A and B are shown apart, each in its own frame.
Chain A
Amino acid sequence: MKILVALKQVPDTETKIKVAAGGTSLDPADVKWITSPYDEYALEEGLRLKEAKGAEVTTVSVGEEKAKDVLRNSLALGADNAVLLKSTETGDPLAVAKILAAYAEGKGFDLVLFGNKGFGSDNGAVGAMVAELLGISQANLVTKLEVSESTFRAEREGDGGTEVVEGTLPAVITAQRGLNEPRYASLKGIMAAKKKTIEEVDGAAVTAAMAVSALTLPPARPEGRKLDGDAATQAQTLLGLLRDEAKVL
């Protein structure tokens, strides 16, 4: 089995967002970069399938030089190969999907694993787009995955319940929290990863379908109000305010 895992490099979840001069992008100063949290579940699932059934796991990231960090980390965790698709087109999910699909096309991957959403961009789109571009099946927000020779069965978080999706391979699966518990890299893995090479390829030339023209911070919330008195008084006051002042009840 051949498995491809798409990893996105994103700002750490603790990051306080600052807007860069120009007003259209994140100020990268002081940002710590990590693998997008959901992508860790995708990688872990690929590694588990490799251990259980024997598979070749390739990780891929679309980005610039620094994205090699997430690829290096994936090698330390047990990925067999890692590929950087060099591109600056990371703001448009369709452009990213086209670059990934162009790379995957014809390489015989049985599974293409994604996070369900890349932190920061929050599109939740690239996986499904790649599925469409490759003309293969998809299951998103997957919390349990079983694969056989030519089919898969996935449990996913659907509309108010757990849905079972069945389909044929090759397939795109996007990982939801709960799918597995990602491992940590061992010292041995980290040392071994240092010796492995990360393949670098120019990402396919694509035209973006959209561009960010402004990045702004949300308006500050108004100064709040603390309610006095004992619990019963606080409760009465609160309901009164919610009903008559805020008018939300």
Chain B
Amino acid sequence: MILVFCELKDGKIRKASLEALSEARKLSGEAPVAALFVGASCAGSSDAAAFGADAIIKVEGPALGAYSSDLFAAVIADAVKAKGATALLGAATPLGKDVLPRVAAKLDAGYAAEVTSLALVGGKLQAIRPVYAGKAFATVDFTSGIQVASTRPNVFSATECPKAGAVETLPVPAVDFKAIVKEILAKGGGKQDLTEADVIVAGGRGLKEGANFKLLEDLADAIGGVVGASRAAVDAGWGIPHSMQVGQTGKVVSPTLYIACGISGAIQHVAGMSGSKVIVAINKDPEAPIFKLANYGIVGDLFEVLPELTKAAKALSLAK
């Protein structure tokens, strides 16, 4: 069976987790799929049935209110063993990427990170995953008895496929954990993480100063997107946090739409966004390398184009 580690956010299953669950359903055929939820409360987990979970496994309790990597790893590994699962999937969210490698090591299982395609070959997972920050793709074949993979958000589709979703609970293991999240300092303003965003409006050095990022935010708001940045913009001291950086030393993103504004298209930037479905470039230099990638290019001054775009988008009420 395939076990899928799912995350809840504000009482709802995260979209990226639903994508992983759907993919497990697709791979599994008639074989069972179980969705695993871990936390202080697993309210909202019943929705997993609609996306293909034959079983919904809950590990619930106050001890799981704050994230501890070693405790969560123990909980997930215990569930894999309890269910006799041979494959474990989870979304490559910040939490998934933190815990799944640890689970894999606990289970002596191979781990493929941020996969973009999965298959079952001879009963074992085979994965395709971007390497060199998306400059190439590796097909990896597992040889371990248990196989673990994290799925890159926005790549697999979340499709409904109603199943029984029989609820089971497993006990919280008595683990003397060694590290825990004590507090959360700065909230990211409730905005979606770049890696999960469907639409990204990104700005580079061409924005000239931090205050001009307002132009990007306005457009992002009008089309239902989030704002990203090049490293040059992050490094310029404009108060743009590194968490907004797209690229090889920032986030690797795969939105449906990526609008690059005043970004030249350096190889390290492109590495982080070349997996976007549709790319738009706005740049005043017709020779800018970003145009080689762009499906649609606007050679022009972003200070003129962006306000026009926002205006037109508002007129069409495009925000979802």
Contact = CB atoms under 8 A, between A and B. Distances in A.
B278 interface: yes
B158 interface: no
Given A225-B295, A234-B308, A214 B135 contact: no
A248 B277 contact: yes
Contacts of B102: 128-129, 131-132, 138
A241 B296 contact: yes
Contacts of B299: 226
Contact of B97 (A124, A165, A224, A241): A124
Contact of B298 (A125, A132, A164, A238): A238
A215 B267 CA distance: 19
Given A210-B143, A249-B318, A238 B133 contact: no
A70 interface: no
Interface stretch (B17-25, B34-42, B176-184, B201-209): B176-184
B122 interface: no
A139 interface: yes
A106 interface: no
B3 interface: no
A19 B132 CA distance: 12
A171 B68 CA distance: 13
Contacts of B182: 153, 164-166
The interface residues of chain A, by DSSP majority, are classed as: mixed
Contacts of A226: 286, 291, 296-299
B114 interface: yes
A239 B108 CA distance: 50
B316 A239 contact: yes
B257 to A, nearest CB: 5
B101 A215 contact: no
A162 B186 contact: yes
Given A158-B94, A231-B300, A235-B305, A224 B293 contact: yes
Interface string A195-216: 0000000000001111111111
A222 B111 CA distance: 33
A227 interface: yes
Given A123-B101, A163-B184, A128 B69 contact: yes
A162 B185 contact: yes
A157 interface: yes
Contacts of B111: 93-94, 123, 125, 129, 209-210
Contacts of B278: 242, 246, 248
A22 to B, nearest CB: 13
Nearest to B187: A161
Nearest to B140: A210
Nearest to A121: B131
Given A238-B298, A248-B278, A231 B308 contact: yes
Given A155-B185, A177-B242, A212-B140, A239 B132 contact: no
Given A157-B243, A231-B300, A238-B280, A249 B137 contact: no
Given A224-B295, A226-B297, A248-B256, A235 B311 contact: yes
The interface residues of chain B, by DSSP majority, are classed as: mixed
A14 B268 CA distance: 7
Contact of A215 (B69, B138, B296, B297): B138
Contacts of B94: 141, 157-160
A73 B296 CA distance: 44
A201 B132 CA distance: 28
Contacts of A157: 94, 242-243
A244 to B, nearest CB: 11
A11 B110 contact: no
B193 interface: yes
A128 B101 contact: yes
- Residue among A15, A168, A218 having the largest count of chain B Cβ atoms under 10 Å: A218
7 contacts: A94-B105, A94-B109, A122-B129, A124-B101, A128-B101, A160-B189, A163-B185
Interface of B: 67, 69-70, 73, 93-95, 97-99, 101-102, 104-106, 108-114, 126, 129-144, 147, 178-193, 199, 223, 242-243, 245, 248-250, 252, 256-257, 267-268, 271, 274-275, 277-281, 286, 291-301, 304-305, 308-309, 311-313, 316, 318
The 6 A-B pairs of least Cβ separation, nearest first, read: A167-B179, A209-B110, A160-B188, A125-B101, A137-B179, A235-B308
